[in-house]
Structures are given as C-alpha cells and as structure tokens.
A and B are shown apart, each in its own frame.
Chain A
Amino acid sequence: MSILVDIQHVSKKYKDAPRAAVNDLTFSIDKGNVFGLLGPNGAGKTTFISMLCGLFPTSSGEIYINGKTHKTHSKECKQVIGVVPQEIALYPKLTAWENLMFLGHMYGLSGTSLKENVKENLRILGLEENMHQKIVSYSGGMKRRVNLIAGLLHNPQLLILDEPTVGVDVQSKQAIIEHLKKLNRENGMTILYTSHHLEEAEDFCSHIAIIDDGKLITQGATKQLIADNNCKSIEEVYLKITGVKFRDK
C-alpha cells in the first residue's frame, strides 16, 4: 500500500504556551486505511488536524499529503481532503439542498453532476424527502448526516472526521458508520477518524494511533495493538496507556 499522509517530526508550540501542543509526531497513513486518532482532551488532536488541513503552519517538521506539502502545494493538498467537523458546520436558515449546493460550488463542482451527487448522497443517508427543509428544523441525527455529506461532495481521497457521531441516535450512528465503511470499501477512501467512542473506533478503524500530551504513545493495526498490549479491547489499551487521571485543565 502506498502512503497518503506522511507525518515527519511535526511539532506545534503556540506563542506563550508553556509546552508544545503537538510534540514531534511521526507516523503515516496508508491509502485505503481507516485510521483512528485517539487521545484524551487536550492531547493535541485538534491542533494536529488543523495543521493537516493547512489551517496553520507547523512549528517544525513536515506534513506530506500525496508527497506534497501545504507550504508549496496548498491547493493540491486541500483538494485531496474532505473535512467533517465536530460542529454542525451548516447554515441553519438554509435547506439541506441549499447548504450542499453551496458547499459543492465552493469545492469547484457545478451543474448536473453536482445536483446528482447531492441527491444521491441525500438518498443514501435517508434525507431525500426532507432535503428542502431548513436545517434548523432537522433533528440532531439528520444534521450530522448532512454534515457528513458536505465533506464527501468532491469525493476526497482523505476524509477527516472529527467526532462524526457525537450526540446522535443509534439509527443515525449506524447509517453514518455503514456509509463510511462502504465508501472505504468500494471507493478506497482513506479516513482519519477521531472519537471518544472507543468501541466504535475499534469496530470502525483498521489502524489506531493514541496520542497524549502532544506525543504519539502508540500506533498500529487495531487488532495487533490489542494483542501487543495483552488487552481485550481498545478501551483497555487506551486506559492502560493514558491512565485514569482526568485531563481537563
């Protein structure tokens, strides 16, 4: 398998911060992997994702996406990425259709292909009948599903999911995970997934990395990681590695 994302000694220290938010991270994500990035609150996941998306530069080290960096090939790197933020990043007064058409245009898509793409995604995630309703009238699960579609419109090579199933009902969660699995299986879409649902991560991710205090603690194939740590689940591995101390400061 070839490498899609290559992280080389990446660090980030915010000005005036006592310590680095991300400290010398080095790992890679192969094409077609579902890669879980786990860690307690404040571990550095959001900072890392922001740098991966090219929102701000690294303090040191390099992030390569398809062998290119944001510094020199920002447009190409961004074209590869689709992002599903933890927040419902949609316009509540617009309908699902209007939101997705707008975001599609922002990805540079247009015309019949965009319309068909939006319709198809809405149909798959069970939103076809409600597509002309305003987002504000949607349930939490429906909003999450539209939020997911928004990141998929341009058929990205790398889909970054930040807590995609937080606060949704079991049915919506099931629909989202199943759709993501299908995209990975059928389209070979690489997925970077962060969540606090460790059971879901274990079921969904082929590979997992655990970071804490900005540092990479462990990484590997999910099953291998459980076996290497003599544990029964990823949750056990996670607690064994990160401890039980509260991290909220």
Chain B
Amino acid sequence: MKLLYSIYKEYKVLTRDRAGLAITFIMPTVLILIITLIQDTTFRSVNEASVPLLIVDRDHDSLSSVLETSLIKSKFFVITKKQLSDEETKKEIATGNFFIGIIIPENTSKKLREKSSARISKLLGSFSGDTTAVAEPLDTSKLKVQLYFDPITKKSFKTTISNSIERIISQIEMQSMVSSLNEKMKESFPLATPSKLELTPIVSLTEEYASYNNSTIIPNSVQHNVPAWTLFAMFFICIPLAGNIIRERDDGSAFRLLTMPGSYMIVILGKMLTYVIVSLIQFALMLCVGVFILPLLGLPELNIGNNLPVLFLVAFAAGLAATGFGLLVGTIATSHDQASLFGAVFVIILAAIGGIWVPTFVMPEVMKKIAVISPLNWGLEAFYGIFLRNFGFKEIFPEVAKLLLFFGASLGGSYLYQKYKRLK
C-alpha cells in the first residue's frame, strides 16, 4: 500500500511538472524526427539501398534500354528518367535530388554497334587474309557515358556504383560484339543454323549476410536513430529524478520521510519504479514514432523485429540502469544545478562514446573499443540485435546483464555514499 501510494504521489508530481514532461517525452520525439531526417541521406549512402538515380537518355536505343533494365534489376536504385541538358543534370545532382546522374549521349548504341562490327571484321579479316580489312585502322576513340555523383557520396560507395555501371556496360559491349560476330559468321556460312551463344555469366558470386535467422535487414537511419535517441532520453531521466531527490532533501521532505519507520526506502523504490514505468512509456511512444510517424515524412518504417517481449526486456533493463544512475547523481550532487549539469554532461558523454550521435560502425577502431564502456552502447547494441539480426533472449542476454549490473552498481554506490555521509 505504501509503495502504491508512493508511486501515485510520484505520478501526480510528474504529471504536474510540464517542463519535466517536455524533457521526458517531447525532447526524444523531436530529436528522433530531426536527427533521422538529417541523417537519412548519409545513412542511405552507407546503406547502398534505394539510391535515387537520374537517367538522361539521349540515345533511345538498345544500350540505354538494356542499361536501364539492368539497373532496375540490381534493386540498388530508384530510377527517374528526364530529358535535361548537361548543366541541368549537374544541378539536379548538386542539389541532392539524386545521388547519381547518367547521361547517355545520342547514337551511343549505333556507334557501339558500328565499333563492334569494325572490330569483328578486322579480327575475321586477319583469319581470311582480307588485307583491306586488316590494314584499315580501327577507330579507338571511346564512347562516353557521363556519370555525376552527389559530392557527399563516400568514395567507396562511388567506386562500387561506378564498377556496377561499368560491368553492365561491359556486358552490353560483349553482347554487341557477339551479335556482330554472329552476323559476320552468317555471311561466311549462309547455310549454317548456329545455336545462340549463351551469354549468362559462367562464374557467379554467392552473397549472404552472416546474420542469425537468415535476417538480412540493413541498418538505416530510422533503425539507428529511434533506439539511439530513445536510450538517450531514458538516461536523461536521471536529471528530473536526481532533481526530485535533491528537492526532497532541500525542502526537508527527505528528513521527514527518514524519521518515519521504513518509509524512505519505499519512497525511493516508488520513485524508481515510477521512472522505470515512464521510461517504458517513452520507449513505447518512440517505437510508435518510428513505426507510424516517420514513414509519413518519407522515411523508412521502423522494423521492430518479431520479438516484442525481448525488446521490452531490454527497455526495462535500460530503464533500470537509467534510474539507478539518476539515484546515484541525486545522492552525490549537493544542489539541483550540480545534478542538472553533471547529469546532462555525463549522459551526453556516454551518448557520444556509446554511438548515439555517430553510430559505432562508422567510428574509428579506437573509438569502437571505447564505446563498449557506455551503458547506452549496451542498450543500443541489444536493440540493433533485435531490430537487425532478429536476436532472441539468449543473444541479447550479455547486454541486458551489463545494464542490470550497472543498475546494481549505481544502487550500491548510492547506498555506500549515503552510509559514508551518515557516518561522517
């Protein structure tokens, strides 16, 4: 009964604290919306998925149509076709409307066929002793397909895309050569009925993500930012919680509660449970933002995996760790200002090294090693595991255990500090 009433009191105090509510619920929502929108393009360049590509087709022939079909098949690109000048194309890319622009000049297909035919004629002439064909110099000038890249594109991604397009064009060149060869052979052997040359690749690469349960979801801006900023907000709860503890200490409430039989521990427990519940509500709300709100802004929908109980177990562990930390800050800090400053700075540092702002997978090696000391990183890694790799309880247990140990250490630290001060 005491505990329930303590939780009820905390609920009343919290719901009447508008600034506290704003920090608790509005801040993470705004952060998720803003940061996800800002980072979306950057993540897409890392993800190599759904890259917006502009084709300016002045050829209107086989090369452009085969190139387009191949690009669509690759599923890397969202293709838009427009008739623009070189300058206009460049502008479209520079303004970020497209990541890549391809200009296929007029008559490229025709010239490709002519060049292929000339090369085959020269080759066959050298076999048949046709001196005119052999002596005729080949046109070695190259046909040009112009590519434009968004300046923010990473070099490695640019190389990958260039290579892919080059490979497609090589295949088209090869096809053109083979059809020229076919035609020449038909001229030499008019009665023959040759079978069609098989042009499908002889060697193929088998690719697979080394993930559990055959999940091949690739992290995107939403899947990083929603759990990241939710964790940040959960840990930011340490500020109102610490403030609450200090206020009670300063206004004599703690003194009064300490004089009651066994009540102060119940009040502290009530506080912690209330804030853990708040952090779970925060988490559920932020998931809803990821699933329902972000897609309305043109961002990908948050894929929350298929293991909700495990997801909420991680959130619960993170909530406990955050409230434990809040209790420690509230116990050690001597004033509300000190708690706000210390709590905020510490959470921001933990967030920065934990991969909340900049994901650990793009961090330098040394920072990746440092990241593992941050509780926010433990939570984030657990969420990544559930969202991206379909992890179950067994796989995320180490991260949950670390969060619970952090909670225990914070409680222990608060108790020992309090005891030390009491005996001083």
Stretch in A52-60, A118-126, A199-207 touching the partner:
A52-60
Stretch in A1-9, A22-30, A72-80, A177-185 touching the partner:
A72-80
Once bound together, how far apart are the Cα atoms of A85 and B249, in whole Å? 12
Residues of chain A within 8 A of B251, CB atoms compared: 87-90
Q: A15-B424, A74-B261 are in contact. Are A106 and B267 (CB under 8 A)?
A: yes
27 pairs, A vs B, C-beta closer than 8 Å: A15-B424, A16-B424, A50-B255, A53-B255, A53-B259, A55-B258, A74-B261, A75-B262, A81-B259, A85-B255, A86-B252, A87-B255, A89-B253, A90-B251, A90-B253, A93-B16, A94-B12, A94-B13, A102-B6, A102-B8, A103-B256, A105-B1, A105-B5, A106-B257, A106-B266, A108-B261, A110-B1
Residues of chain A within 8 A of B374, CB atoms compared: none
Residues of chain A within 8 A of B267, CB atoms compared: 106
Interface pairs A-B: 5 shortest CB-CB = A87-B252, A89-B252, A85-B252, A105-B5, A93-B16
Once bound together, how far apart are the Cα atoms of A103 and B250, in whole Å? 17
Q: A91-B9, A105-B1, A105-B5 are in contact. Are A83 and B262 (CB under 8 A)?
A: no
Q: A91-B13, A94-B9, A94-B13 are in contact. Are A78 and B1 (CB under 8 A)?
A: no
Once bound together, how far apart are the Cα atoms of A230 and B424, in whole Å? 42
Once bound together, how far apart are the Cα atoms of A82 and B5, in whole Å? 20
Task: Select the residue from B6, B16, B253 with max chain A CB neighbours within 10 A.
Answer: B253
Contact of B73 with A by CB under 8 A: no
A83 B256 Cβ-Cβ under 8 A: yes
Residues of chain B within 8 A of A88, CB atoms compared: 251-252
B424, closest chain A residue (CB): A15
Majority secondary structure of chain A interface residues (helix, strand, loop or mixed)? loop
Contact of A151 with B by CB under 8 A: yes
Interface size bracket, B side: 20 to 34
Once bound together, how far apart are the Cα atoms of A75 and B262, in whole Å? 7
Contact of A235 with B by CB under 8 A: no
Contact of A107 with B by CB under 8 A: yes
Once bound together, how far apart are the Cα atoms of A58 and B187, in whole Å? 115
Once bound together, how far apart are the Cα atoms of A124 and B295, in whole Å? 60
Contact of B175 with A by CB under 8 A: no
A14, closest chain B residue (CB): B424
Interface size bracket, A side: 35 or more
Near B by CB (< 8 A), chain A positions 148-162 give: 150-151
Contact of A98 with B by CB under 8 A: yes
Contact of B210 with A by CB under 8 A: no
Once bound together, how far apart are the Cα atoms of A102 and B9, in whole Å? 7
Q: Which of B5, B253, B259, B266 contacts A78 (CB 8 A)?
A: B259
For the complex formed, measure the closest distance between the CB of A86 and the CB atoms of chain B, giving whole angstroms.
7
A56 B423 Cβ-Cβ under 8 A: yes
Contact of B166 with A by CB under 8 A: no
Task: Select the residue from A74, A79, A102 with max chain B CB neighbours within 10 A.
Answer: A102
A106 B13 Cβ-Cβ under 8 A: no
B9 A98 Cβ-Cβ under 8 A: yes
Once bound together, how far apart are the Cα atoms of A103 and B424, in whole Å? 29
Near B by CB (< 8 A), chain A positions 2-47 give: 14-16
A76, closest chain B residue (CB): B261
Q: Which of B17, B261, B424 contacts A93 (CB 8 A)?
A: B17
B16, closest chain A residue (CB): A93
For the complex formed, measure the closest distance between the CB of B315 and the CB atoms of chain A, giving whole angstroms.
28
Q: Which residues of B contact A (CB under 8 A)?
A: 1-2, 5-6, 8-9, 12-13, 16-17, 250-253, 255-263, 266-267, 422-424
Q: A107-B260, A108-B261 are in contact. Are A93 and B13 (CB under 8 A)?
A: yes
Residues of chain B within 8 A of A50, CB atoms compared: 255
A106 B255 Cβ-Cβ under 8 A: no
Task: Select the residue from B9, B260, B424 with max chain A CB neighbours within 10 A.
Answer: B260
Residues of chain A within 8 A of B263, CB atoms compared: 106-107
Residues of chain A within 8 A of B8, CB atoms compared: 102
A75 B261 Cβ-Cβ under 8 A: yes
A151 B256 Cβ-Cβ under 8 A: yes
Q: A91-B9, A94-B13, A105-B2 are in contact. Are A83 and B255 (CB under 8 A)?
A: yes
B2 A106 Cβ-Cβ under 8 A: yes
Once bound together, how far apart are the Cα atoms of A78 and B266, in whole Å? 15
Residues of chain B within 8 A of A94, CB atoms compared: 9, 12-13, 16
B16 A106 Cβ-Cβ under 8 A: no
For the complex formed, measure the closest distance between the CB of B99 and the CB atoms of chain A, giving whole angstroms.
52
Task: Select the residue from B8, B9, B13, B256 with max chain A CB neighbours within 10 A.
Answer: B256
Residues of chain A within 8 A of B255, CB atoms compared: 50, 53, 55, 83, 85, 87, 89
Residues of chain A within 8 A of B6, CB atoms compared: 102, 105-106
Q: Which of B253, B260, B266, B423 contacts A57 (CB 8 A)?
A: B423
A74, closest chain B residue (CB): B261
Residues of chain A within 8 A of B13, CB atoms compared: 91, 93-94
Once bound together, how far apart are the Cα atoms of A94 and B252, in whole Å? 16
A103, closest chain B residue (CB): B256
A53 B258 Cβ-Cβ under 8 A: yes
Once bound together, how far apart are the Cα atoms of A32 and B95, in whole Å? 86
Q: A57-B423, A93-B16 are in contact. Are A79 and B256 (CB under 8 A)?
A: no
Q: A85-B255, A90-B251 are in contact. Are A78 and B422 (CB under 8 A)?
A: no
As a 0/1 sequence over residues 213 to 249 of chain A, the CB contacts with chain B under 8 angstroms (1 = contact) are 0000000000000000000000000000000000000
For the complex formed, measure the closest distance between the CB of A167 and the CB atoms of chain B, giving whole angstroms.
14
A88, closest chain B residue (CB): B251
Residues of chain A within 8 A of B2, CB atoms compared: 105-106, 108
Q: A14-B424, A57-B423, A106-B2 are in contact. Are A89 and B9 (CB under 8 A)?
A: no
Residues of chain B within 8 A of A106, CB atoms compared: 2, 5-6, 257, 260, 263, 266-267
Once bound together, how far apart are the Cα atoms of A79 and B263, in whole Å? 11
For the complex formed, measure the closest distance between the CB of A206 and the CB atoms of chain B, giving whole angstroms.
24
With A86-B252, A106-B2 already in contact, 13 other A-B pairs whose C-beta atoms are closer than 8 Å = A55-B422, A74-B261, A78-B259, A78-B261, A87-B250, A88-B252, A89-B252, A91-B13, A101-B5, A105-B2, A105-B6, A106-B5, A106-B263
